[in-house]
Chains A and B, each alone.
Chain A
C-alpha cells in the first residue's frame, strides 16, 4: 500500500480556483459578533503550513545540520501559530453563550 500522496501543479490550480470560490461562499454572511473568532480561527488554520516543516524535517539527516535546524524552526513557529490560534478561538467562543435570538432593536 502506497501511503504517499501529492498533486501536480495543474491539479493545484484547480484546487486553488475552486476552493477560492468555495471559501467566499462559506463565509459570506458571517455576523459581526463572530468576526474576531473567525479571524483567529482562520489564522490558526494557516498554521497548517507546519506540514511543510514536517516534510522537510523528516527528509533531512543529521549530516545537514543547517537544513535540519531551519526545519525545526519552521515546525516550532507553525505549531505555536496553529495550537495557540485554536486554543484562543475556543476560549473566546466559550464566552458567547447563545441563549436567545439576538434582539432586532427597540420596540415602539
Chain B
C-alpha cells in the first residue's frame, strides 16, 4: 500500500513539475520538481524489487551504473554549447529509444512465451516506437551536426514505405493468427530491426528548417515507447511519464506545423511542394547599403527591431547582438528582438541563444505581438533569416511558402537585410522583400558587419 502512495506522490509531482515548466518564473522549480519525482519513483521501485534474496553484487552493479550514467549525463550537459542544444536533445532522445528496444527484447528473450495478445501488442508497439525514435534521432543528430549523410533520394521514401508496410503486416499477422503459430521472440526481433531501419529512412529526407517539427515528433515517439514500457511493467509512473512526454511532443509538433502553415504529412514527405513554374525569376532590383551607412541610419532611429534567423547562430553573432543593444541604448535607441516560432533548429532555439548572450527576456517579442505594431519600428534588421520575412507568403498564391505566417518586416519604415550573398532561403523561393522600396541589403558576414556598426555607433 505504501508503495502506491509513494507512486501517487511521484505522479502528482511529474504533472505539477511540467505545469511549472510552462511558466517562465517557475520553470526552474518545475524542472527540479519533475527530477525529484522521477528519483522518488526510482528509489521506490528499487526497494520494491529487492529483498533478502537480492545479491549484493546486483545492487552494487545497479548503483554503479546509475552513478556512471549520471556522471556521463552531467559532463555532457555541462559541455554542450547552446547552439548545439538540438544535437544534445536528439542524442538523449536516441538513448531513451534504444533503452525501450533493449527492454522489450530482453523481456521476451529472458522470460519466455508471452501469454496475452495485449502484452504482445504492447511489446511490438514499444519496439516500433522505440526503434524509430532511436535511429531517427541519431540521423537527426548527424544532420544537425553537419555530418556527411547520403543525399536524400526518392528511393529512401519507398524503402521507408515498404518497411512501414512490413511492420504493419507482421503486427496484423500476430493479431490474427492463434498464439504460438509465430515464434514471438523472433517476430519481435524482426519488427524491432524493421523499426530501426525505418527510423533511418524516414528521417533522411527531412532537414533544414523542418528540423523543429522532426525533433518534436521524435520526442513524442520516445514518450509513446515509455508509455508502452509502463504497460509492460505494470508501472503507473512510467505510464504517466510517457504520456506527458508524448503529449508535449505532439503539441509542439502541431504548433511548429501551424507556424509554417504545413501539414505534418507535408513536412514528413520531406520537401516543400515544388510549385512547378518558378515565380518571378527576373533580376531583382537590389539596393545595397554599407555597415557605416547602417550605423548612421540606426543612430537616428527611436525604435529598432532585429529579426534573427538560424543564419545568426551560424555566424555566431548573438554576442554582437547583445553589444549592439547596449550601444543603441546609450544612443537612446530601443532594440527589440522578434522571433518567428520556427526560427532555429528546434522549438524555442533562438530564445535560448539570445538568453545565453545575456539579451534580456523583456526585449524578446513573439511574432504575433510584433506584427500588429510593425509600422512603429523605424528600422528592422534581418540577420540570417529569409523565408520568415518573405512577403510572398502573404501575397503570392503561386509561391510554395504561401500561407506561412511571417514577420511583417516589410511594414517597418526601413528594412535592412544582412546577407552573405544572394543565396535563397531554405524553401528556394525568391524573397520579394528585397524588391521593396524600403528594403536595403547589407552584404557580408553578419558578425563583422555588426562589429563595424557598433564601432561606428560609438563614434556618433
Contact = CB atoms under 8 A, between A and B. Distances in A.
A32 B92 contact: no
Interface string A16-55: 1001101110111111111111111111111111111111
Contacts of A30: 21-22
Category for how many chain B residues contact A: 35 or more
B229 to A, nearest CB: 5
B177 to A, nearest CB: 21
B35 interface: yes
Contacts, number: 400
B364 to A, nearest CB: 7
Contact of B247 (A24, A39, A82): A24
Contact of A93 (B27, B80, B249, B363): B27
A17 to B, nearest CB: 9
B60 to A, nearest CB: 11
B181 interface: no
B227 interface: yes
B376 interface: yes
B80 A88 contact: yes
Nearest to B5: A5
Contacts of A42: 18, 219, 223, 244-245, 248-249
A49 B73 contact: no
Contacts of A7: 234-236, 239
Contacts of B190: none
Interface string A88-101: 11111111111111
Identify whether the interface residues of B are mostly helix, strand, loop, or mixed.
helix
A104 B16 CA distance: 28
B124 interface: no
B295 interface: no
B248 A38 contact: yes
Contact of B346 (A39, A61, A81): A39
A58 B222 CA distance: 24
B234 to A, nearest CB: 4
B147 interface: no
Category for how many chain A residues contact B: 35 or more
B269 interface: no
B352 A36 contact: yes
B239 A46 contact: no
B109 A33 contact: no
Interface in A48-78: 48-62, 64, 66-68, 70-78
A35 B348 contact: yes
Identify whether the interface residues of A are mostly helix, strand, loop, or mixed.
helix
Nearest to A38: B21
Contact of A90 (B28, B244, B347): B28
Contact of A41 (B34, B118, B225, B366): B34
Interface string B351-375: 1100110001111111001101100
A7 to B, nearest CB: 5
A44 B444 CA distance: 40
Given A36-B348, A95-B352, A104-B365, A59 B30 contact: no
A83 B28 contact: no
B99 interface: yes
Given A12-B231, A44-B35, A87-B73, A81 B92 contact: yes
Contact of B96 (A24, A26, A41, A47): A47
Interface centre among A41, A47, A68 (most CB of B within 10 A): A47
Contact of B351 (A11, A27, A35, A68): A35
Given A27-B248, A62-B55, A43 B42 contact: no
Contacts of B25: 98
A1 B73 contact: no
B65 interface: yes
Given A80-B95, A81-B95, A36 B351 contact: yes
Nearest to A60: B110
Contact of B3 (A4, A67, A70, A83): A4
Interface of A: 1-9, 11-12, 15-16, 19-20, 22-24, 26-62, 64, 66-68, 70-108
19 contacts: A5-B4, A12-B231, A16-B243, A27-B18, A30-B21, A34-B22, A43-B222, A47-B38, A49-B238, A53-B102, A60-B58, A61-B58, A62-B55, A64-B110, A75-B66, A77-B95, A85-B89, A91-B78, A92-B355
* 9 pairs of A and B residues whose beta carbons are closest in the complex: A79-B69, A35-B348, A84-B73, A23-B247, A83-B73, A6-B234, A88-B77, A35-B347, A5-B3
Given A5-B48, A39-B219, A43-B89, 20 more contacts: A4-B48, A12-B230, A27-B18, A31-B24, A43-B92, A46-B223, A47-B96, A49-B229, A52-B229, A56-B103, A57-B62, A79-B69, A82-B38, A90-B28, A90-B31, A95-B356, A100-B362, A103-B364, A106-B377, A108-B373
